[in-house]
Amino acid sequence: MRRLKTFFLSAAALLIGCNIFPASFILPPDPSLITVVGGISNTDPFFGTFKLANAPDVQMGEFLLASCGCGDWRVLFRPSDGSPQTQFPVRFYTAGEYSPAGTVAFHGLEDYYAAAGTVDQDGGGCDGKAELALSRYLMNAQRASAHNQAVEACGLCHIGEDSIFPLPPTHPQKYKTDPHICFECHSVNGQ
């Protein structure tokens, strides 16, 4: 009888403990990897989607990996249900000296958010996983090369009601009538 009690108490402790303190889904980058200072050389944004990790057929919204200028790369998660966007910085890592060809890893961690994955610089694909608060997701994206897509990437963070870095009130208001006008004054490096 005592063994049976011990077994059930141990099973309950494991079950509760594993749910309260789940195993990490996003591991830190391997210490042997080298940081790619300034990010990858092709600064065209990656557009895609993110899905629930435990139900990959359930699409949750739009995913973006983009350069915000001056080597600052960020991931953006825009839920399709209208809930607030989430964004945070990421860094790129490589096994040796950086080359603009081949695969590089990326990783970002801020507060209760984390993302990690790989970018195929040759094929233009991006795959990874993310933890946003207590939810786990898988993401997939493709590099965009059209000028208007680069402008759209900037607009996701800077223009709109749920903008993350809203434009200051002193900013010229031309973008309200034509959102693709940003690059008349700015370049993709934020100048």
The pLDDT tens digits for 46-80 are 999 999 999 989 999 999 999 877 678 999 999 99
Smallest CA-to-CA distance from 104 within 94, 114, 116 is with 94
* Bridge partners, residue 177, by sequence: none
CA distance from start to end of the chain: 74
41, containing H or E segment: none
Q: 11-31, pLDDT tens digit by residue?
A: 544 444 444 445 568 889 999
Is 8 inside a domain boundary? Answer: no
Is 179 inside a domain boundary? Answer: no
Domain CATH for 73: 2.40.128.120
Q: Quick one: average pLDDT of 143-159?
A: 70
Q: What is the pLDDT of residue 21?
A: 45
Instruction: Report d(CA 88, CA 29) in Å as an integer.
Output: 16
| Total count of domains within the chain | 1
Range of the domain at 89: 34-144
Is 180 inside a domain boundary? Answer: no
Is 139 inside a domain boundary? Answer: yes
Is 129 inside a domain boundary? Answer: yes
Is 24 inside a domain boundary? Answer: no
pTM of the model: 0.76
- Torsion sign across C-alpha atoms 74, 76, 151, 94: positive
